[in-house]
Structure 1
Amino acid sequence: MISTSLARRLSLAVLGLSSLSATVAAAQATTSQKGVGITIANIDPSVKPCEDFFHYASGNWLKSNPIPAAESRWGSFNELADHNNATLRAILNDAAKNAPKAAKGSNAQKVGDFYASAMDSAAIEAAGLKYLQPHLNRIAAIKDLGEMQRFLADPKAHTGSVWYGMGVGQDDKISTQYAVQFGQGGLSLPDRDYYLKDDARSKAIRTAYDTYLVNTFKMLGDNEATAKANAATVQRIETRLAKASKARVDLRDPYANYNKMTLAEADAAYPNLALPLTLKEEGLGAAKEVIIGQPDFLKEVSAMLKDEPIADQKQYLRFHLVTSVVPALPKAFGDESFKFSQVLSGAKKQQPRWKRMLGSTDRALGEAFGQLYVDKAFSPAAKARAKQMIENLRTAYGERIKATDWMSAATKTEALKKLNAFTVKIGYPDKWKDYSALTIGRESYLNNILAAREWASKDEISHFGKPIDRNEWGMTPPTVNAYYNPPMNEIVFPAGILQPPFYDPKADDAVNYGGIGAVIGHEMTHGFDDQGRQYNSEGNLKDWWTKEDADKFNAKAAIVGKQYDAFAPLDSVHVNGKLTMGENLADLGGLTIAYQAFEKTPQAKAQAKIDGFTPEQRFFLAYAQIWRTNARPEYLRQQVQVDPHSPAQFRTNGPLMNMPEFYKAFGCQDGNKMMRASADRSKIW
């Protein structure tokens, strides 16, 4: 899951809306009729639903939809993204064609020229390193620690992600204020363990990474021996950073990662980071306090800046600068980057340039581009229907909280207060970002990337000292995703995901509640998962639970953790129940709440069959079919190591194995694989 500051935690899910359709109204008068929204042909009847519901619901689809060569996985998210991309590509082609005639400085001009420069591969090839060289020269000119500190403090240094992360975001304990935050970073590989583990796959990845490093340095002009030496230097520096980094499970503890201190205290603790200079150059000179996410990591970086030879540090910066702008460099750089990424993802070929540059435009000019998208692809009526369904789910959640038999009255009161305080954002921002200070042209794609990067940094830093901007979004409108943001206590659903198969206005309520309803419930449950529950109704990191209730919650969550630890997508590759805890709890809670809300609909009460399935069966089939996914082994290995989300088959089967409602719908019996013994089930909400 995607964020503009270190404080923001965004979480992947699906979402949608629902209303009683004419299809359902007609179905009430008959035993069974043909429905919309569930693809019956996807079902594999050779698999028993109570043995493996993932393969029962989508088995035929899995067999007939091999992973495209340019993808590492393929599922409903990808299908919807491809559908959206067709619309987005048409918008961008028109924008690029019409940009010369558009008003200079308008969003249409900027979006069109950015995409046109990105797609002009001939110009990029002809330019070579022309536009990159001034930035490489700046790095080469650094002579000592003082000059290195001044360079790193310069917001125009454009080195990519080096040493650590810095940003401005909400203060987790004072959610009405922005704070300056620092945290670990600086690695090129997806996780610290890739540098530290000695299993065969980790070694193979490091070997491939070394090849990538060597070839990149050679393309920059180094001879073979120098390139190999510089590659070894980067690996050594990043390995040292990895050893100082916290593991992903440890990063899930919001209290342990909140360490506020005065700027003077931070400067004394990390003297070689030159934090006062950095804040001054970034326009944050008024900051008197900072929040340090991982103090031991920052301490090690401070030591490294003094210990590591300046010549070695320069090679580290040089590589990170280059790899942060690969798409804007000659094709050979992109080819080398893709060769290495293949080892991680298993993809057989590179995505077409238009698709990669579409993503680049979305990242650089997300809301300018997004405005053009929603004008074409998202109606006010869809937004209104989504709002109604969300309120239905909120009502059902409140009923579940009140009915819990393990939570005290005092904690229930606070939980309901938090639930009722959820802010809901649907489709697109009410107020769009202002890109007037960003200059985009057609001369250089690389310069456009750096200009957009600089603008985004200034935009984030400009928040400091001002009231919290509650109109801000962490995802762009075309995004096929959703999130919950704890300090804002908000649930957010971009326009991109409010489409089939997640939401279908022609489908019956069972389909929409099993699809988008479960996603809405998922995001709501993030407010009450093992991390989100630690924030109160105002978005502050503050304990509102009695000790007894917290202990009971943790015991129930531990059952879920144990369940997922046992899941293995590949031989000897197990899901990490602690890393995926929040998402697993959100899946279970979201589906439970969506089911309760669905049971109130006329369709559920009428009990008419559609396509031969009861309303409850259609609900669970809809849920399972949104998670249909084929994934490469390389992708799955990386997912279980770095992703807080479980693989798709366990996001399907895992929650259902805890739900008596599912057992009843499909007549599951003791001994069926999908049916857990009562003592092994988890029921929280």
Structure 2
Amino acid sequence: MKAILPTLPRRLLVLALAAASVGGAYAATTAPAPTATTPDVVADHIDTSVKPGDDFFEFANGAWLKAHPIPPEESQWGIGQVVQDELYAKLRKISEDAAATKNAAPGSDEQKIGDFWTTAMDQALADKLGITPLNGELARIDAVHDVNSALDEAFALQLLGVGPFFDFSVQQDEKQSDVMAVHLWQGGLGLPERDYYFNKEKGVAKVRDAYVEHLHRTFRMLGKSDAEAANSAKQVMALETALAKVSRPLADLRDPEKNYNKMAPADLTTKYTPAIAWNTRLAGWKLPASTVIVGQPEFFSGLQALLAKTPTPVIRDYMRAHLVDTYASYLSADFDNEHFDFYGHTLNGQAEQKPRWKRALRAENKALGMILGRIYVKDYFSEASKQRYNAMVEAIRTAYGERIDKLDWMSPATKAKAHEKLAAVTKKVGYPDKWKDYSKLTIGRTSYAQNMMNATRWQTEDMISKFGKPVDRNEWEMTPQTYNAYYNPSNNEIVLPAAQFMIPGFADNQIDDAVVYGYVAASTIGHEITHGFDDEGRQYDAKGNLVDWWTKEDAARFKQRADVMVKQFNAYEPLPSIHINGEASLGENIADFGGIMIGIDAFKKTEQYKKGEKIAGYTPMQRFFLGYALGWLSQEREEQLRTGLLSDVHAPAKWRVNGPLSNVPDFYEAFDVKQGQPMWRPENQRVKIW
């Protein structure tokens, strides 16, 4: 994906392409050479003052980045945000047209979109209502008087997308991919990731202090005196810090075997959380599960200890804070601005809020994404485009199969299993073949926050309803208008939404194959397929089950090669004293590298590569690498860079270009990279996996 993460299940399910870019458009025909008055899709971005072997990201993208500073309402700016603006313009028209529809049938797509948009854009109504849309839940929190009543409300809040104490989901059983299972996962934190509570870097320490002040101001807005609010903020921070202490670090959450602990709900109660009668609680959600999959049992033990010793007033304040932060963006300006001040400004560096209409569209996508998607693809994505990208997936699949055959470190037995899995990868391109039924979702004009609560409850109940039913392998976790892509290991599928194939300012036939193969085939399609064979995805078989299909020797050889990449990325230091987490980002880094290698193989079969003619002064292979770098064209504020380094499994955009390319022989040849240049590595120190 690119700049804004889509709404995904709270427990990690898919391996997405999250970053600051967007996929490109595939050229059906060879592009005409640019003239003096026609811009070139990659050459015009180049900063010729930088040598390719010194910093290829800056060489390929530097001129554009210098000419396009980050706008004050953004935390990052690049091709992903430019594409998002194009999408916003199209979605705004859809929304305004629906709002202008007279006598829209109740329950129709037009009524839901029109009422949502009208209410979301009504700042005066939101200001008039203030906190009142949350009064019902706040009253229930006020009634909490002991651990049992606290759990009553905690479980009720889960249905509204508020996650006090822990996260839960109903998803495929990792070891029985044809069965929907209840998953329980660590959670309950207000900061992005557990290390935010402990990292000593001064920027992180400032964020911690700012978070306490944010809580302080929030409690004041909820009616506490200044002294009471300050005390409440301090105690809530202490509770969350204790939760963080018993939480696993980010890198440890990527081991599917260690995060798969299947047990009976009664055993979870007896062994780990005596205060939570899980059978009874799950039955309240209409989940008569005989087993649950617990990600981190020690976290739930820690939670049990905290429930036993935390004063009830602190638990009430903790729940109030999480409820308000979840819905603040849909309330009056005072709550909205307070939420932005911390989560937008402090954490991500935005100087000011985005226009209300863009924020309304972001919420509308979250609440009614697939309804908007039906209209979007009808108006903006052709069947011909869908078939074009289906064909490109097959070209990459073929190239990957040939690369597997050539591996000198993998045994024939494991190669056979790898081929079986590759052949079974399902591709979903553009939009779902079957659209989700939203008929039971009620959207009206009572309040913006009420519509968001209705949508979130509907989504949660829809997820719960899947329990006990056959797995729907046709379902999508992203909307067609999302500029991102993902691999789902349990389905062994790659999903490529329609918006992924946009390049702003260019039509399909204006982009040559070289750029497209770097921009789409390598950075998106090849990347997602490689996720099925990265350090995490490789542990799932062709049917999506978590099972070991590798020989012991091959697994050891894979790890040895992957460890080289871990070491490389651990050495990168984007901010003083904050390095990239090579362990946490390993899967994405392997996928980037694998996507490039496979994309090169596929591109070498094209007519453009074989002819070898230059366009805008660059050879086909040079344009391939420039196309890849274009896919990560982005710059971000220091605050967001820090947030990503501590909480994201994706490396920053610059290192997603320079990191993998420093291991690619064709890159060295294309740009004559020499020993002594920053991107040069000795041949025996380069990553060699796929």
Shorter-chain TM band: over 0.9
| Post-superposition offset of 1:17 | 5.9
Aligned to 2:441: 438
Structure 1 94/88 Cα, relative in aligned 2: closer, same or farther at 3 Å? same
1:512 maps to which of 500, 516, 519: 516
- Tell me by how many angstroms 1:489 deviates: 0.3
Letter of the 2:175 counterpart:
K
Partner of residue 52, structure 1: 55
1:611 & 1:159 partners in 2: Cα distance?
A: 51
Tell me the amino acid that sits aligned with residue 632 of structure 1.
Answer: R
C-alpha deviations, 1:444-470, integer Å up to 9, x for none? 111111111110011001111111101
Distance between the aligned counterparts of 2:206 and 2:171, measured in 1? 38
Which residue identity lines up with residue 387 of structure 1 in the other structure? N
Q: Note if contact 1:7-1:172 (Cα within 8 Å) is conserved in structure 2.
A: no
Provide the rounded CA distance (Å) in 1 between the counterparts of 2:26 and 2:416.
29
What CA distance in whole angstroms lies between the structure 1 residues aligned with 2:15 and 2:675?
38
Structure 1 residues 553, 167: CA separation in 2 closer, same or farther (over 3 Å shift)?
same
1:201 alignment partner AA? G
1:346-357 equivalence runs, <5 A: 346-357=349-360
Is the partner of 1:23 in helix, strand or coil? coil
**Residue ranges of structure 1 left out of the alignment (5+ in a row):** none
Matches within 5 A, 1:516-531: 516-518=520-522, 519-531=524-536
Instruction: Tell me how far 1:513 sits from its aligned partner.
Output: 0.3
Could you tell me which amino acid in structure 2 is paired with residue 543 of structure 1?
A: D
> Aligned to 1:192, which of 194, 203, 219?
194
Q: Distance in 1 between matches of 2:179 and 2:9?
A: 16
1:131 aligned residue (130, 133, 142): 133
- Per-residue deviation, residues 261-280 of structure 1 (Å, max 9, x unmatched): 01221121212122122211
Counterparts in 2 of 1:130-279, with a 5 A limit? 130-154=132-156, 158=160, 160-269=162-271, 270-279=273-282
CA distance in 2: counterparts of 1:514 and 1:222, whole angstroms: 56
State the alpha-carbon separation in 2 of the partners of residues 33 and 469 from structure 1: 52
Describe the SS at the equivalent of 1:424: strand
Query: TM-score by structure 1 length?
Result: 0.96
User: Are the aligned partners of 1:155 and 1:281 in contact in 2 as well (CA < 8 Å)?
Assistant: no
Bigger Cα displacement from structure 2, 402-411 vs 303-312: 303-312
Q: Please give the alpha-carbon distance, in whole angstroms, between the structure 2 residues aligned to 1:145 and 1:44.
A: 61
- Determine the C-alpha separation between the residues in 2 that align with 1:157 and 1:412: 44
> Residues 426 and 492 of structure 1 are in contact (CA less than 8 Å); yes or no, is this contact kept in structure 2?
yes
2:370 equivalent to 1:359: no
Aligned mates of 1:60, 1:157 — CA distance in 2: 47
Equivalent residues of 2:157, 2:164 under 8 A apart: no
CA drift at 1:11: 1.3
| Matched residue count | 678
One-letter identity of the residue aligned with 2:304:
S
| TM alignment of 1:201-600, pairs within 5 A | 201-269=203-271, 270-285=273-288, 287-341=289-343, 342-500=345-503, 504-518=508-522, 519-600=524-605
| Contact 2:386/2:429 (<8 A) preserved | yes
Task: Name the CA shift for 1:75/1:403 in 2 (closer, same or farther; >3 Å).
Answer: same
Q: Is the 8 A contact 1:37 1:511 kept in 2?
A: no
Deviation at 1:7, TM superposition (A): 5.7
Two-structure CA RMSD over aligned residues (Å): 1.9
Q: Distance in 2 between matches of 1:619 and 1:457?
A: 43
Give the conservation status (yes or no) of the 8 Å contact 1:636–1:647. Answer: yes
1:375-397 Cα offsets, whole Å, 9 max, x none, are 11111111000000110000000
Distance 2:533 2:247 in 1: 28
Amino acid at match of 1:185: G
Residue 116 of structure 1 and its aligned partner are, at CA, apart by 1.3
CA distance in structure 2 between the partners assigned to 1:528 and 1:64 by the alignment = 39
Q: Secondary structure at the match of 1:425?
A: strand
State how far apart, in whole Å, the 1-side matches of 2:17 and 2:116 are. Answer: 28
- Post-superposition Cα deviations, 1:13-44, rounded to whole Å, max 9, x if no partner, equal 554563551436x89xxxx9998762322111
Q: What's the CA shift string for 1:383-418, capped at 9, x where partnerless?
A: 000000110000000000011111000000000100
Percent of matched pairs sharing the same residue: 47
Aligned match of 1:83: 86
* Paired letter, 1:198: K
CA distance in 2, matches of 1:505, 1:165: 46
Structure 2: tracts of 5 or more residues without a match: none
- Answer whether contact 1:344 1:634 (CA < 8 A) is retained: yes
Q: TM-score, normalization: structure 2?
A: 0.95
1:168 is paired with a residue of what secondary structure?
Answer: strand
Of stretches 514-523 and 228-237 in structure 1, the one that deviates more from structure 2 is 228-237
Partner Cα distance (1:11, 1:508) in 2: 26
Structure 2 equivalent of residue 653 of structure 1 = 658
Q: In 2, distance between residues paired with 1:197 and 1:15?
A: 34
Residue deviations 1:98-135, cap 9 Å, x none?
2x521100122111111211111101111122222122
What is the distance in 1 between the residues matched to 2:158 and 2:568? 48
Give the SS at the match of 1:176.
Answer: strand
Asked if 2 retains the 8 angstrom alpha-carbon contact of 1:17 and 1:513, the reply is no
Change (3 A) 1:524 1:363: same
Aligned-partner Cα distance in 1 for 2:500–2:589: 20
Match of 1:682 in 2: 687
Alpha-carbon deviation of 1:185?
0.5
Task: Determine if contact 1:209/1:340 at 8 Å carries over to the other structure.
Answer: yes
Q: Residues 498-536 of structure 1, C-alpha deviation per residue, up to 9 Å, x if partnerless?
A: 111699343111011010111100001000000000111
CA contact (8 A) 2:541 2:547 kept: yes
Q: Secondary structure at the match of 1:79?
A: helix
Give the CA deviation at 1:197. Answer: 2.7
What CA distance in whole angstroms lies between the structure 1 residues aligned with 2:679 and 2:90? 40
Q: Relative to 1, partners in 2 of residues 1:681 and 1:625: Cα closer, same or farther, differing over 3 Å?
A: same
Check if 1:614 corresponds to 2:590.
no
Paired residue type of 2:132:
K
The structure-2 alpha-carbon separation of the partners of 1:416 and 1:273, relative to structure 1 and needing over 3 Å to count, comes to same
Bigger drift between 481-490 and 77-86 goes to 77-86
- The alpha-carbon distance between structure 1 residues 338 and 379, as it changes in their structure 2 partners (threshold 3 A), is same
Deviation of 1:594 (Å): 0.5
